[in-house]
Every structure is written in C-alpha cells, then in structure tokens.
Chains A and B, each alone.
Chain A
Amino acid sequence: GAVVSQHPSRVICKSGTSVKIECRSLDFQATTMFWYRQFPKQSLMLMATSNEGSKATYEQGVEKDKFLINHASLTLSTLTVTSAHPEDSSFYICSARPGSRDTEAFFGQGTRLTVV
C-alpha cells in the first residue's frame, strides 16, 4: 500500500517556541493532505485540509495563525505549531490522498508533541 511518512515521531519543545511537523507521501503524489489532532482516548479531530498550491481550509475553531500549514509540493505538507503552549501538547497525524475524489487516504505514523 501507499506510504505516508511523518517526521518527527516525537518532539519536545519549550513553551513559546515553534515546531514544524512534516508529512510526506513517499510513493504517490498527494493532491490533498489532511491534518488531525488526537487527544488521549479520543478519536481523530480534523484540523485542516490542504490542497497542493493553495491555502489550507481550516475547521471551525482551529486558529490559522497558530497552526500554519504549507503544501508546497505534491509530496510534502508541513504543519507548524507557532508559539506553542502546554495545551498544544497532543498527537498530530497527517493523511494523504492520491486523487481529488474520495479515494483511500493513507495515514502517517503520527507525531507526539509535548510542550514543556
């Protein structure tokens, strides 16, 4: 199956700093990538949808200026958590979809962010 690689898998940062998470589709071109956030024992919550070459579409309640998403190429999307605070500590997961239709989306391994 298609492979989506997320990096880093774990990151610890100090409060007030920014951290960037990368999501790469290794063997296919991803027209659309999704970013999710997952708190312990809860399901995934969609944060934003990014389409290559255009601005991301954010879900209601997600701060655009805090969670910067860039999808500059068909194989790479990045999520930057700016001015991180302890409440931003969470598990962040990306997924990538090869086409524009409702085809299978493949998930990355996730990134555990801890803000201290």
Chain B
Amino acid sequence: KNQVEQSPQSLIILEGKNCTLQCNYTVSPFSNLRWYKQDTGRGPVSLTIMTFSENTKSNGRYTATLDADTKQSSLHITASQLSDSASYICVVSKGNTGGFKTIFGAGTRLFVKA
C-alpha cells in the first residue's frame, strides 16, 4: 500500500533551537518527494523537491535529506524562528511517464516558542 508517514505528529521547541522532522514512505514507483510548509489557514508552500538521485537539498534554514534505499526523508530546521510555527507536510509522487499520483503525509505540527 502506498503510504507516507510523518513523525512526530507535533513538536514544541524553543526559538533558536534546531529540529528534525521525519518522513517514511512506501510509495512505488517513486518519482519525487517534496516538503511543504503550511501556515494555519493558508495553502501549502513548497520548501524543497528531491528526485531519486538527490540526497540533500537546502532552502535557507531548511535542509531536506533523502535516502531512497531506506525510503526515508528528513527536514532539518536550523535556528528556528517564531514564524516557523506551521505544519510541515511530506508529499511523495508515485508514478512514471504513464501517470502520476501524489500522496500526502499527515504532517507535523511545529510550535516554536519564545
């Protein structure tokens, strides 16, 4: 069954601290993996996108890693800010040139406190 599981469900950290969010998937065939940030009451905004051959990708204080062998990805946030408080969603695309399907994780809700 094609699944995307994220952990933890929620996380509380102090401003300035680092954190790492996890995403495990069982999607096949794998096309790409994306991390999105979704502020409350807003649409998701893309942070990173990685294909099979990419191991790491950074976007400012956000660094995503991908291990296609173990089917795991992580999103590391460095020096967290209050504005990082949001839901972070891992999305895996399944398919090939014959057609694609995106599978959403349930998200990790991050709370950054002063």
Closest Cβ of chain A to B74, distance in Å, is: 18
Which range holds the interface residue count of chain B? 20 to 34
Alpha-carbon distance A45/B89, docked complex (angstroms): 12
Contact B43 A108 (CB under 8 A): yes
Stretch at the interface among A63-71, A73-81, A82-90, A99-107: A99-107
Complex contact B43–A42 (CB within 8 A):
no
Residue of B nearest to A1 (CB): B46
Within 8 A of B (CB), among A12-70: 41-46
Bound CA–CA A6/B43 (angstroms): 10
A90 to chain B, nearest CB (A): 12
A-B contact sample (12 more), CB < 8 A, given A102-B32, A104-B46, A109-B43: A41-B109, A43-B89, A43-B104, A43-B106, A45-B104, A46-B102, A93-B43, A101-B100, A102-B95, A105-B102, A107-B43, A110-B42
